[in-house]
Amino acid sequence: MSVGAESAGGAAVLDGIRVLDYGRFIAAPWCSALLADMGADVIRVEKREGGEDRWVQSVTEGGEGGTFLQCNRNKRSLTLDTTTEEGREITRKLVAGADIVVANMPAAGMRSSGLDYDTLRAVKPDVILASATAYGEGGPYSERIGFDGAGQVMSGAVYRQGLPDQPIRTVVPYADFGTALTLTIGVMMALFHRDRTGRGQHVEGALLPTAMMLSNAFLIERDLLGIDKPRMGNQGASVAPCDLYRTSDDGWVLLQIAGPSMFARWCRLVGRPELLDDARFADDDSRWRHGDILNDIMARWCAGRTKAEVLQLLERAKLPAAPMHSTQDVLDDPHVAAMGYLKRVPFPGAAHDVPILDTPFRLSATPGQIRRRAPLLGEHTAEILGEIGYTDEQVAALRERNVV
């Protein structure tokens, strides 16, 4: 199934690159999805009953989940029992024709599945292994398993966010998606290195260092100044006024003020020019320390206006503000529509075409594109096995023996 137009430059950047995807949930599958967007042939290798991530947050009659539909577009599905000798032989043949193997599991699981780097490069010397784990390899936590929340809570970020008496992790799995992005960067660097030297390598990503990257400033502040600022809900961590403010029609607007010129424009807008001469608001740090005063002024100002009025006035004053969107608001947003950020992709058993996020970066000459929907379980098993030399009769026999 084809979706979208041909790229402006003809051939896609990664045409001819084959990826074996043993990933589950987000960190590895989103990495391979981005490679697929850019033209790589990505084969998702699943257990015969399907990977666990296929069925989470079900949105279709068949049971496929929303995150699965996003993270597995542009892929083909092969079911395989890798614990059998015939399954291991198929794995070796697949690896022999692959450029990249992507997986996310602890090192012990990689070894037992024959997906560790030493085993892979014995089959294909220039292969690139991209692995994602919770904590990274080589430390005391390396054998532990963990989802996105583990990276969040162990990075120090959750300690700093939420309400004064209630830390709150972020429901959006940013450690998972962030790890997918860093892993993708590493894979592209490894491909560049292979083109120069002919040698493959092991690329490693992990949830904990990704989450630490995103909250590193908190660690620096603690180490150098010996302080942890308190949890303050939606208020800013270092500037004020900054918060989500309720409007007269029960909408919400985010405002973030930083720097003297922005603060001056805000003071004039809310009719409080005398604040510019108040020593309590002399700089960002001072404004943050007295943020309750400034946020209270802004809250009262917004409470007497509709969301549309607040946004119009803030935009006119060139102040960085944004409406809080519901999920339906995002689907209906005219800018999202004009930019084509969501592509409508048909999927069997879905109520209607599914809004799938387009490639989240854009190249002017060789853009990524969604060419096909996420695969049904084992949809391409016969096709893929045929490509590595199995006849229709052999595939049928493998099915009878429950190997595929």
Active site residues: 176
CA distance 165 to 177: 28
Check if the beta carbon of residue 314 is closer than 8 Å to that of residue 247.
no
β-pairing, 128-133 vs 162-163, is unpaired
CA distance 391 to 371: 28
Task: Please list, in sequence order, all residues whose beta carbon lies within 8 angstroms of the beta carbon of residue 321, skipping any fewer than 6 positions away.
Answer: 253, 254, 255, 256, 310, 311, 314, 315
Check if the beta carbon of residue 242 is closer than 8 Å to that of residue 292.
no
Cite the DSSP H helix spans in 270-362: 284-289, 291-303, 307-316, 327-332, 334-339
* φ, ψ of residue 127 in degrees (nearest 5): -70, 150
Position 180, amino acid: A
What does DSSP assign to residue 321? E
What does DSSP assign to residue 6? P
Could you give the C-alpha distances from 13 to 9, 34, 36, 368, in angstroms and in order? 9, 11, 10, 8
Largest Cα–Cα separation, the chain: 85
Q: Which residues of 336-367 are buried (b: 16+ CB within 10 A; e: fewer)?
A: eeeeeebbebebeebeeebbbebbeeeeeebb
Specify which residues 271 forms β-bridges with.
none
Q: Which two tokens stand for residue 268?
A: 């004039």
Task: Please list, in sequence order, all residues whose beta carbon lies within 8 angstroms of the beta carbon of residue 61, skipping any fewer than 6 positions away.
Answer: 348, 349, 350
